[in-house]
A and B are shown apart, each in its own frame.
Chain A
């Protein structure tokens, strides 16, 4: 379910169909009056040979457009008389040049590569340099050309330059796009086959693709420069073939490996295909199996499959995709293996999954059981998916004319209104693309015939899916214009249309309509292409009638309901059961095991853990015994506030937080992973039951993510429900029993002390009492004087009874200085019992002693500053009651429920919509369920889906140069480890890199990273003068050390209550909801801004992404009430202007004045922003140095805010911040979770941090808080 990918096929009529792995129905590609002969696909890119023997390209399913930034630097030199001018010295660079000055980049000379591209706006100046704003002409200055440019003109600045940028966009998305023929006359050398692959060439830059084709004259052509950002590539390059070879078919694997078949049935292999030499070096011949003639060959990552003319299937063993560029054997494999089954066509997809077309019945089969260990699989399973009624048959329009908007385009071509729409679209696109010569003729079908067909169709209602000829009325739209990249026809609008790119239904589909829109029929397939199809062999798509998926329908089956009804009826005995006892006494159960207790220094101690659980009493205890049997801890499970995993490779661990215990965090290491998972399951289950949590968490929940990827949720709603409200007040009794008041007792007042709050203290004075005081005070602040000491500098109310002086003194301490005292007579004497009540109102405090009004004290400091109560004196406290107008929930009462799933970020909003991002940057949407993975079986299975995530492990290989032997791995004694992490402080070797648990597995070998920031040489090395210094890719004379990065990818298979929301990789995102509509804005991996339309509680994944131009690649985004802030990669901040409900995309970006760093670092260079979280009137910014800055006075009228303020009460650094209204929560660098106390509309900075949870977290979202 997780990954939507497409299987393509061509039926015997030449029409292209696609089957989504999330769906179960074949959908037809819009018919363009052109049959197709062959297809070849990688995700998002489909190449085909049309019936006219020309090559076509179809780019689809990309949620953000392909945009390419063209840059040109305008250079000027200062001349004594003229000042800066475009006259340069002869030795200088071009007037308009590339960044390094070597290439002429004259703005007029930069053209669109083909008709498929459009400019997005005009040339613009870049007005920032490394996040610093430049003057409005965008010039930056330097002494001479190859030098450091700065933003300001200085006396020695002799040259200046500015950067022009312009974006171009690939506009032929979701439509067929013709690739230029080889010759002016396209019939001169038509094509017979095309193949795309190379998307996983070892070490190649991401986005690299490789396309090969065969012409009718048997020439092999390689398309140069094809990549994800240049889908059409540049030109055809002829690759020579051995003499006497007549090639008929070609296949390129994901690793770039090329196999070709000759008409004689023999196969040849291209050797030496690497990232640097994508066309390879030479051809090698491979013997055909058993003298048969091969007819089809398909190359995968580690496999090659072929079909011979006698319909036998052959598996080539010994192919190794990672080594095929360097080893002939790895490219050729070692031998053929006959696989059972008779097939006429075969295609290898992602992960070496294999699809084939049956020789006799022309059905499509999938090879079941293919795993990396067993590449040849187990057996063939027939793909049985329904057919969409042909778009071109009128049956579709009859169905859809009465149905919803979603199906509009089914009748796109037959009904007037949608047709108009399509015309407009097409016309627009032609205008925008400054169209090439348009031929109004139909080379394939004269329009007269077309008209007849249209009328004929209305009578012919055909549910079999057998298609009719095209009914296009607008021949202009799809004339194959013979120029490069011309748009041949528009695919119907993917957003308004149930096109192939939708999941069958989305989440909420009109069943009735869907039933009628599909017909089952046996289509005879002629071609299948799986190159873009990613099938999970463990959880195959719903394509097979014999799949386990059929069990899901059991839930609603009649027999099942009958069984259930009858089972329920059994308990109607019609007799009085009161005298019947219970046969089996309700008993609790215990579970224990040997484990290890891990202390904070990572030292283990043998112990026995024992759990007792009594379900009917809803109580349980966890005991930890030392190995000699003595009790180490024993506590009620109700005291546990979180249960999380804290495993390290080879050490399966669980952490429990128990704020009431002295140790607070209990880390237990289990003997095996299985045992750890069982315990986790049981502990989460029991603690959740104890807290009475069931069902979907409320929208006001706080969500957090631990560093082990666990998703936690604290839901205040149950506590709010159960809290007793009495006369508009929530009261909490503070446990004071046994507390030593003589040394002072402080308790946190979780809700501060705003007007309406009450503190009620009862106790008994000792006979020897001299003085006592009760302070309503602010936080302790660390002061550096002679030694570090903590001091409370703000005490809004100091209530001091001085029996030695015979007075009561009330006072306020502001910034460490006492104000003027207010004195009263003593109301009580030593030895007496007392009750004192402090009531806070808008004016001041009212003190009542022993139920008599005693005094009032006017506020001198805002009572919002009060975060705790402090009592000191020779007395005993009986009770202390704290009342507040809102529910009082202390951190020890916050139970963090593990929700399930494996994620990196989770964001909420004031709606039920919750999104997450996994480590591989994929977006997920919360389904409302609970469980999955090691929490399997806890909740119902509703909403639990398979989850996949990928992480990359890196190690650095470091070397030092020495005069004799050059670079070697022997460093200086003071050097870092020769194999280390990025800091060099920790030893990391490839061999010792272990996976976290059994759900992870490697999906690659260790590979050299050629895209390490800073640049690398051809072996992946980057050089520096010494460790740690800036690294660069080219070796220069002064370099003494070098390093290179190795990486290896690992994947986790798990489950959780999350479902994939599209395939766009996201870096950051933000949600906001005011009413039903939810705004979801995100930053893609490439730094683009996109927002999702149509997100509601019912459709949490929304419909599609809209793209918003961004000035710079961005890293973070936050939205609040149509105010949007983003953070650029260089730390600059922008806000979006004029975002309204009607214009959700806003108009343009405005730079915000940069915050200053409050931690003085030696560097002059400014500290940029890293992350932003917006509230309705302020923005909390996490800076790159880990400190926090707050922008105040943000409003609709002033979305950029007014002032910067900085937190000064705390020296720690932070990892993440999330805020909404009066709630600000942070994750500190050590992973602990804190919330800010004392925030008011006037004091947006708040007063103090309150620790909430002390386990290593990485992310928190409080944006659902209400």
Chain B
């Protein structure tokens, strides 16, 4: 059970300084807009934190684009809104930290073949909840989510949206409990991303066949027997002797998945 509040809180409070700049092509005014600086929670999603920024840039762009869906890129790489912000940063800037993280804002030329559309926050919520459900299927055969009430689901989402640790964890701790005698999840919801953004997702048991706790080192040698890699999440390298069960309980993103980058 996730009970290490100190780690949980530290992860929850993780923030990134981001500098949004409007794409030069979008600027229709003579006056250059100021960049928009903001501290964003690593655990959140871009559509949840960019309302103010959008208002800031709207008056500089062509009115015909004003109703278009806004999208972001980093170094020409469109950012997928359905990934947590912290993970996107780890993916693109993990090995080469950039403060602040400079992102470009676009209102036109939506890269249809790369990005999903996100007309409103309900879509984010729907995507988020489905990921949590998927994780619960892996962890508990979906039994925890199905016993929760609608208001619990709602509280989970509101906790994330409003950046309320207690509100979120009041519900999430139920998802992070292990059931039955096994004292561990059935499988660890983990996605391991290569630098190009593709990921592998396997059924990973938190225990070795002899019943001992599986640690990161053992996972790596299972998945990458040839070249030992290092894994990175939440801006830090994961120590190799960290047990996977603990890692999943404490360092999963709010969607209950471990999003880990190879570096």
Residues of A within 8 A of B (CB): 368-369, 378-379, 546-548, 550-551, 554-555, 557-560, 562-564, 566-568, 570-571, 573-575, 577, 579-584, 587, 589, 615, 678, 685, 937, 940-941
Contact = CB atoms under 8 A, between A and B. Distances in A.
B164 A581 contact: no
A559 B241 contact: yes
Given A368-B181, A583-B49, A584-B162, 7 more contacts: A559-B240, A560-B4, A563-B239, A563-B242, A577-B39, A589-B162, A937-B169
5 contacts: A558-B241, A563-B238, A573-B99, A584-B41, A685-B166
A570 B49 contact: no
Contacts of B162: 584, 587, 589
Contact of A583 (B1, B40, B158, B181): B40
Given A564-B10, A567-B11, A583-B44, A589 B246 contact: no
A583 B39 contact: yes
Nearest to A593: B151
Contacts of A582: 38-39
Nearest to A378: B181
B242 A559 contact: yes
B157 to A, nearest CB: 12
A1243 B130 CA distance: 72
For A368, A574, A579, the residue with the greatest tally of chain B CB atoms inside 10 Å of its CB is: A579
Interface stretch (B73-81, B138-146, B219-227, B229-237): B229-237
A41 B40 CA distance: 63
Contacts of B48: 583-584
A563 B9 CA distance: 13
Nearest to A559: B239
B252 to A, nearest CB: 13
A584 B163 contact: yes
Contacts of A547: 183
B173 interface: yes
Contact of A369 (B5, B7, B167, B181): B181
B197 interface: no
Contacts of B238: 563
Contacts of B17: 573, 575, 577, 580
B111 interface: no
B212 interface: yes
B39 A581 contact: yes
Contacts of B228: none
Nearest to B247: A563
How many chain B residues sit at the interface, stated as a range, is: 35 or more
Contacts of B163: 584
Contact of A580 (B6, B10, B100, B240): B100
Contacts of A570: 14, 234-236
Contacts of B164: 589, 615
Given A546-B212, A570-B236, A581-B52, A564 B7 contact: yes
Contact of A566 (B52, B181, B237): B237
Nearest to B35: A579
Given A368-B181, A378-B181, A562 B14 contact: no
A581 B49 CA distance: 11
Interface in B32-48: 37-41, 44, 48
Contacts of B170: 678, 937
B213 interface: yes
B95 interface: no
A463 B37 CA distance: 65
Contacts of B5: 940
B96 to A, nearest CB: 15
A548 B206 CA distance: 13
A617 B53 CA distance: 26
For A368, A547, A577, the residue with the greatest tally of chain B CB atoms inside 10 Å of its CB is: A577
Contacts of B99: 573-575
Contacts of B242: 559-560, 563
Which 5 pairs across A and B sit closest by C-beta, in order of nearness?
A: A559-B239, A566-B236, A583-B49, A567-B10, A584-B163
By secondary structure, the B interface counts as: mixed
Contacts of B173: 937
Contacts of B211: 546
B84 to A, nearest CB: 13
Contacts of B49: 583-584
Contacts of B4: 554-555, 560
B65 interface: no
A580 B234 CA distance: 21
B241 A563 contact: no
A567 B183 contact: no
Contacts of A559: 239-242
Given A562-B239, A584-B163, A551 B246 contact: yes
B3 interface: yes
A379 to B, nearest CB: 7
Contact of A579 (B10, B37, B158): B37
A573 B239 CA distance: 22
A334 B167 CA distance: 52
A589 B158 contact: yes
A589 B242 CA distance: 36
A11 B99 CA distance: 65
Contacts of A548: 183
B11 A550 contact: no
A145 B246 CA distance: 78
Nearest to B6: A564
Nearest to A587: B162
A770 to B, nearest CB: 60
A580 B212 contact: no
B144 to A, nearest CB: 14
Contacts of B241: 557-559
B239 A581 contact: no
B259 to A, nearest CB: 16
A566 B230 CA distance: 15
A956 B183 CA distance: 45
Contacts of A615: 164, 166
Contacts of A546: 183, 211-212
Contacts of A575: 17, 99-100
Contacts of A567: 7, 10-11, 14, 234-236
Nearest to A581: B38
Nearest to A573: B99
A563 B7 CA distance: 8
A595 to B, nearest CB: 14
A579 B36 CA distance: 9
Contacts of A583: 38-41, 44, 48-49, 52
A1115 B122 CA distance: 66
Contacts of B239: 558-559, 562-563
A28 B241 CA distance: 36
Contact of A550 (B37, B52, B161, B213): B213
Contacts of A555: 4
Contacts of B246: 551, 554, 560
Interface in B196-221: 211-213
B44 A560 contact: no
Contacts of A568: 10
A546 B14 CA distance: 33
Contacts of A580: 17, 37-39, 100
A577 B19 CA distance: 11
A1196 B139 CA distance: 67
Interface string B17-61: 100000000000000000001111100100011001000000000
Contacts of A940: 5
Given A559-B241, A937-B173, A581 B37 contact: yes
A1201 B162 CA distance: 65
B231 to A, nearest CB: 12
B260 to A, nearest CB: 13
A562 B236 CA distance: 10
A610 to B, nearest CB: 14
A205 B158 CA distance: 58
For A378, A577, A584, A589, the residue with the greatest tally of chain B CB atoms inside 10 Å of its CB is: A584
A547 to B, nearest CB: 8
